[in-house]
């Protein structure tokens, strides 16, 4: 039972929601429906607590607050948020919800219930579950918006979740929900989710960046006020009603820039940004007023013209409108300024949800969002859509930026950045795509594979005799184009599949190996493909030459069954078995088992695992045998001390990734049931490969000093070194072996003491 203090807290939090809901309710009836929903949800969840010990009803109240205050949806969405867990967690049904609150609220709750069931389902792959989630876009995009609010609150209370579930939720959030928030224009929610992800994934980096941001604000805050004041005065004199705010980059965006560019915090020069929000004058076009403000700013400060971003003339596909410019501040630092009208700011803060407030028929933002949602629906409705392939494509599309091109008649077409002339042909009409033979870009003849650029004017040239070519799949980018091509090639692909399957089986048998699911999966990975259907198809079409099959079978030697095959190869060829990439030394007999044919997953779900996923999996070494009880992922090469996550392979081996590794995020989002919590033990015998990048002032003997210092003074083994010099500056990297991140941090600090060295940072190792 709840205490009186619990009840007071519930009433206090609902009071905040009640006041916020008043602004979104059009009449007394809608307002009373919100009150009724609260009473209903409170009674349904009576006596139930969350893992934190809080009354469960606080969760739906918090979700509803996000829905109304941070997304800006109306009363039906508020009601749906309040009762969204009732059907899943109590004996009430969707029919009860419809009877009490109407068909639309019931439809929203039904969509949310299906999403929760799909995420928690263990009967199919995670990718298939996400596909089910996104099918709700067919019904009402508000279902996804409410689900984002639900995910945001769950992320805010992540500390109370068990570790084995925490990794799954964090990775799902990074792989699907954060890009989805970005595409739907919910930038504040996206930013908060990213920061929570960083806090839980890399806590030390998060704390470091936060402390440096606070220090910078203290040091430069007054200077920014001095920078803003002349702009404010100029706008006042021009008769604008406005507000100006200053902000810093988020910890996640700073970390991301440091990672991708390999630079320290001190080299983040665009730490500050200024936002101007003005009340548009009704007698003038908003776009013109934005450029007027820009001209006033550039009378005061020098503009970096190559950094102008004009999203007022051509809004982003998610509806975002603003004019961005970068100017030189008085202290010699670049400052980004964002210029928005009040309407533009509402769209920017609330994204697609704001379309219910600004429902002007035919506005560019609304048409672009509808076009994107229609594209998603088309892909989802394709019965041949492979779930895992769909998830990857959808993820890529969420993250992609867009370009605008024009038809010969001047009609604007929005496409994903990187799209080709053939993508445009299919965007216009499927038959134009199917019969396309070439294109004219800016009146110049180009191939169908020509990558479109923003502002291109493009004419598609067709011929009645033309038909889709399999090679087109290699360069089209949009799911729509790929779908049409695949449909047209279906019969041809079936022939290729059958022929390729037969050819591969015959070739495999020549090595004395039994063709089976595991062999196909390893070859799929070795050839860099998505699934075995693609493998068979490309073999049958003659696009994969099986003369190197033996090499490919050896290449992927990350588990026991493949090492068994390597042993057979060595007997056949007389060659020595090279197992340098494997940390396992046992040669136990492997029983070959046929597995069911499953094309949905490149890595199928495991059966009942002997590894307890609820307990920490200790990454330890045996100092006598010098063997590891796990395998280090080659994509990110974690070392002891890195925050890591483990995945159970189909042979009961644990593959360890950095938990910030993009591949790990992908795996955790697609195969959440395979996650184990991995923890490092003390490593004193085994060494791990790491890379440090260096930059400094060149001088005679610098390379000799660096290598001698590393090997003689620090006693560290060097595997590879690359240094180049230009204009008196040297830069390069050294790959070396260390026991842990602690050793590496000490080495970096010592390296900074070498004369001439300006910066030393750990960077990712890229495979040659």
So what's the pLDDT on residue 54?
A: 87
Average pLDDT (525-544) is 81
User: Is it the case that residue 212 has pLDDT exceeding 70?
Assistant: yes
CB 84 within 8 A of CB 63: yes
User: Is it the case that residue 356 has pLDDT exceeding 50?
Assistant: no
Distances (CA, A) of 647 to 171, 259, 373, 527: 13, 24, 34, 22
User: Is it the case that residue 325 has pLDDT exceeding 50?
Assistant: yes
pLDDT range class, residue 349, cuts 50, 70, 90: confident
Q: Please, what is the average pLDDT of the chain?
A: 78
So what's the pLDDT on residue 705?
A: 82
So what's the pLDDT on residue 242?
A: 95
Average pLDDT (630-650) is 84
User: Is it the case that residue 249 has pLDDT exceeding 60?
Assistant: yes
User: Is it the case that residue 122 has pLDDT exceeding 70?
Assistant: no
CB 651 within 8 A of CB 591: no
Rounded Cα gap, residues 255 and 262, in angstroms: 10
So what's the pLDDT on residue 614?
A: 62
pLDDT range class, residue 596, cuts 50, 70, 90: very low
Rounded Cα gap, residues 630 and 681, in angstroms: 12
CB 104 within 8 A of CB 59: no
User: Is it the case that residue 574 has pLDDT exceeding 70?
Assistant: no
Overall size of the chain counted in residues: 768
3-state helix, strand, coil in the chain (%, to 5): 50, 15, 35
Average pLDDT (92-112) is 91
User: Is it the case that residue 599 has pLDDT exceeding 70?
Assistant: no
pLDDT range class, residue 436, cuts 50, 70, 90: very high
User: Is it the case that residue 234 has pLDDT exceeding 90?
Assistant: yes
What's the half-sphere exposure (Cβ side, CA atoms, 13 Å) at 67? Answer: 31
What's the half-sphere exposure (Cβ side, CA atoms, 13 Å) at 651? Answer: 20
Contacts of 154 (CB under 8 A, 6+ apart): 161, 169
Lowest average pLDDT, out of 247-251, 437-441, 531-535, goes to 531-535
Task: Give the count of beta carbons closer than 10 Å to the beta carbon of residue 618.
Answer: 12
Q: Tokens at residue 222, please?
A: 């007054």
User: Is it the case that residue 12 has pLDDT exceeding 60?
Assistant: yes
Backbone torsions φ then ψ of 241, nearest 5 degrees: -100, 125
So what's the pLDDT on residue 422?
A: 94
CB 52 within 8 A of CB 42: no
Backbone torsions φ then ψ of 482, nearest 5 degrees: -60, -40
Rounded Cα gap, residues 419 and 403, in angstroms: 9
More confident residue, 78 or 334: 78
3-state secondary structure of 642: strand
CB 737 within 8 A of CB 689: yes
pLDDT range class, residue 566, cuts 50, 70, 90: very low
More confident residue, 633 or 599: 633
Task: List pLDDT tens digits, range 405-416.
Answer: 888 877 778 787
So what's the pLDDT on residue 120?
A: 64
CB 244 within 8 A of CB 275: yes
Rounded Cα gap, residues 62 and 73, in angstroms: 14
Task: Give the count of beta carbons closer than 10 Å to the beta carbon of residue 51.
Answer: 10
From start to end of 161-292, where are the E strands?
242-248, 272-278
Average pLDDT (65-72) is 88
Pairing verdict, β 436-441 and 444-446: antiparallel
More confident residue, 393 or 318: 318
3-state secondary structure of 413: strand
User: Is it the case that residue 558 has pLDDT exceeding 80?
Assistant: no
Average pLDDT (269-286) is 88
Among 13, 54, 89, 451, the one annotated catalytic: 89
User: Is it the case that residue 202 has pLDDT exceeding 70?
Assistant: yes
Rounded Cα gap, residues 185 and 354, in angstroms: 9
User: Which 8-state DSSP code applies to residue 456?
Assistant: -
Rounded Cα gap, residues 560 and 30, in angstroms: 63
Q: Is 456 a catalytic residue?
A: no
Backbone torsions φ then ψ of 116, nearest 5 degrees: -60, -40
So what's the pLDDT on residue 357?
A: 47
Rounded Cα gap, residues 401 and 182, in angstroms: 11
Lowest average pLDDT, out of 28-37, 42-51, 92-101, 490-499, goes to 490-499
User: Which 8-state DSSP code applies to residue 728?
Assistant: T
Average pLDDT (295-314) is 89
Query: What percent of the chain is predicted at pLDDT more than 70?
Result: 78
Residue with tokens 């396309």: 436
Quote the distance between the C-alpha of residue 176 and its chain's center: 6
So what's the pLDDT on residue 661?
A: 86
Average pLDDT (236-240) is 95
Task: Give the count of beta carbons closer than 10 Å to the beta carbon of residue 516.
Answer: 16
Closest-CA residue to 318 (of 364, 377, 378, 252)? 364
Which letter, b or e, does each residue of 53-65 get, where b requires 16 or more Cβ atoms within 10 Å of its Cβ? Answer: ebbbbbbbbbbbb
So what's the pLDDT on residue 584?
A: 28
User: Is it the case that residue 384 has pLDDT exceeding 50?
Assistant: no
Helix locations, 612-701, DSSP H: 662-670
User: Is it the case that residue 246 has pLDDT exceeding 70?
Assistant: yes
User: Is it the case that residue 235 has pLDDT exceeding 80?
Assistant: yes
User: Is it the case that residue 491 has pLDDT exceeding 80?
Assistant: no
Going edge to edge, which strands form the sheet with 729-738? Answer: 717-726, 729-738, 688-697, 757-763
Lowest average pLDDT, out of 10-19, 126-135, 175-184, 219-228, goes to 126-135
Contacts of 5 (CB under 8 A, 6+ apart): none
Q: Is 54 a catalytic residue?
A: no
Average pLDDT (353-360) is 48
What's the half-sphere exposure (Cβ side, CA atoms, 13 Å) at 514? Answer: 11
CB 732 within 8 A of CB 718: no
Contacts of 715 (CB under 8 A, 6+ apart): none
So what's the pLDDT on residue 106?
A: 92
Among 6, 88, 598, 663, the one annotated catalytic: 88
More confident residue, 731 or 455: 731
Residue with tokens 């997953």: 601
CB 265 within 8 A of CB 209: yes
| Long-range contacts of 130-136, Cβ-Cβ distance < 8 Å, separation of 24 or more | 130/176, 130/387, 130/391, 130/669, 131/380, 131/385, 131/387, 131/390, 131/391, 133/176, 134/376, 134/380, 134/394, 135/380, 136/111
Task: List pLDDT tens digits, range 643-665.
Answer: 888 888 776 778 889 888 888 88
CA–CA–CA angle 238, 240, 246 (5° rounding): 110
For the chain, the straight-line distance linking the first and the last C-alpha, in angstroms and rounded, comes to: 62
Average pLDDT (660-671) is 80
pLDDT range class, residue 383, cuts 50, 70, 90: very low
Rounded Cα gap, residues 300 and 298, in angstroms: 5
pLDDT range class, residue 124, cuts 50, 70, 90: very low
Contacts of 562 (CB under 8 A, 6+ apart): 522, 553, 554, 556
Q: Is the dihedral of CA 758, 762, 764, 765 positive or negative?
A: positive
CB 276 within 8 A of CB 293: yes
So what's the pLDDT on residue 127?
A: 54
Query: What percent of the chain is predicted at pLDDT more than 90?
Result: 24
Radius of gyration of the chain (CA): 29
Q: Tokens at residue 61, please?
A: 């109240």
Q: What are the chain's domains?
A: 4-160 (1.10.3210.10), 203-359 (3.30.460.10), 365-485 (3.10.20.30), 491-573 (no CATH), 688-763 (3.30.70.260)
User: Is it the case that residue 559 has pLDDT exceeding 70?
Assistant: no
Rounded Cα gap, residues 193 and 153, in angstroms: 10
């Amino acid at each position: 039972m709840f205490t009186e203090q619990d009840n007071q807290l519930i009433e206090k939090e609902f009071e905040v929601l009640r006041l916020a809901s008043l602004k979104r309710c059009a009449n007394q009836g809608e307002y009373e429906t919100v009150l009724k929903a609260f009473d209903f949800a409170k009674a349904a969840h009576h006596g139930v607590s969350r893992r934190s010990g809080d009354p469960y009803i606080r969760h739906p109240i918090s979700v509803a607050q996000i829905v109304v205050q941070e997304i800006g949806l109306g009363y039906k969405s508020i009601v749906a948020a309040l009762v969204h867990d009732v059907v899943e967690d109590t004996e009430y049904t969707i029919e009860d919800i419809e009877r009490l609150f109407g068909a639309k609220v019931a439809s929203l709750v039904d969509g949310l219930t299906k999403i929760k069931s799909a995420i928690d389902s263990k009967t199919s792959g995670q990718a298939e579950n996400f596909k089910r989630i996104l099918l709700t876009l067919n019904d009402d995009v508000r279902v996804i918006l409410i689900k984002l609010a639900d995910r945001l609150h769950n992320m805010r209370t992540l500390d109370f979740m068990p570790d084995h579930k925490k990794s799954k939720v964090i990775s799902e959030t990074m792989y699907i929900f954060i890009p989805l928030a970005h595409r739907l224009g919910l930038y504040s929610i996206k930013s908060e989710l990213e920061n929570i992800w960083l806090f839980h994934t890399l806590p030390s980096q998060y704390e470091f960046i936060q402390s440096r941001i606070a220090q910078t604000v203290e040091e430069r805050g007054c200077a920014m006020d001095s920078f803003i004041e002349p702009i404010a005065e100029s706008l006042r004199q021009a008769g604008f009603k406005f507000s100006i705010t200053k902000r810093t980059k988020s910890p996640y965006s700073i970390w991301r820039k440091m990672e991708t560019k390999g630079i320290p915090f001190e080299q983040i020069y665009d730490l500050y940004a200024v936002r101007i929000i003005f009340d548009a004058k009704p007698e003038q076009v908003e776009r013109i007023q934005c450029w007027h403000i820009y001209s006033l700013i550039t009378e005061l400060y020098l503009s970096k013209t190559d950094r102008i971003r004009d999203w007022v003339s051509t809004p982003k596909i998610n509806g975002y409108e603003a004019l961005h410019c970068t100017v030189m501040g008085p202290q010699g630092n670049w400052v980004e300024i964002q210029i928005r009208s009040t309407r533009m700011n509402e769209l920017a803060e609330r994204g697609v949800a704001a379309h219910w407030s600004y429902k002007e028929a035919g506005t560019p933002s609304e048409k672009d969002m509808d076009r994107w949602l229609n594209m998603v629906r088309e892909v989802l409705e394709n019965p041949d859509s492979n779930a895992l392939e769909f998830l990857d494509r959808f993820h890529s599309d969420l993250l992609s930026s867009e370009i605008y091109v024009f038809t010969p008649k001047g009609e604007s077409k929005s496409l994903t950045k990187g799209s080709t002339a053939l993508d445009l042909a299919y965007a216009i009409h499927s038959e134009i795509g199917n019969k396309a033979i070439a294109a004219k870009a800016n009146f110049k003849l180009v191939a169908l594979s020509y990558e479109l650029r923003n502002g291109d004017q493009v004419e598609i040239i067709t011929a009645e005799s033309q038909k889709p070519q399999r090679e087109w799949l290699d360069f089209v980018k949009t799911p729509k184009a790929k779908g049409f091509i695949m449909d047209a090639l279906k019969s041809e692909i079936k022939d290729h599949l059958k022929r390729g399957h037969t050819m591969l089986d015959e070739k495999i048998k020549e090595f004395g190996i039994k063709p089976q699911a595991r062999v196909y999966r390893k070859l799929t990975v070795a050839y860099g493909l998505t699934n075995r259907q693609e493998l068979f198809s490309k073999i049958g079409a003659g696009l994969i030459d099986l003369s190197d099959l033996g090499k490919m079978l050896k290449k992927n030697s990350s588990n026991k069954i493949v090492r068994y095959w390597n042993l057979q190869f060595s007997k056949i060829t007389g060659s020595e078995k090279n197992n340098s990439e494997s940390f396992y030394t046992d040669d136990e007999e492997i029983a070959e088992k046929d597995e069911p044919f499953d094309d949905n997953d490149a890595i199928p779900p495991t059966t009942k695992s002997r590894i307890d996923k609820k307990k920490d999996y200790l990454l330890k070494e045996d100092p006598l045998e010098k063997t590891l009880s796990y395998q280090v992922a080659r994509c990110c090469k974690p070392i002891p001390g890195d925050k890591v996550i483990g995945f159970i392979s189909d042979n009961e081996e644990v593959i360890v990734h950095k938990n910030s590794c993009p591949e790990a995020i992908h795996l955790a989002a697609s195969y959440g049931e395979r996650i184990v919590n991995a923890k490092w033990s003390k490593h004193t015998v085994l060494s791990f490969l790491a890379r440090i990048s260096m930059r400094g002032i060149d001088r005679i003997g610098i390379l000799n000093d660096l290598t001698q210092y590393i090997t003689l003074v620090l006693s560290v083994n060097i595997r590879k070194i690359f240094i180049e010099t230009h204009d008196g500056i040297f830069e390069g990297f050294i790959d070396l072996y260390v026991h842990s991140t602690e050793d590496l941090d000490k080495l970096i600090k010592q390296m900074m003491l070498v004369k001439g060295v300006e910066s030393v940072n750990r960077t990712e190792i890229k495979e040659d």
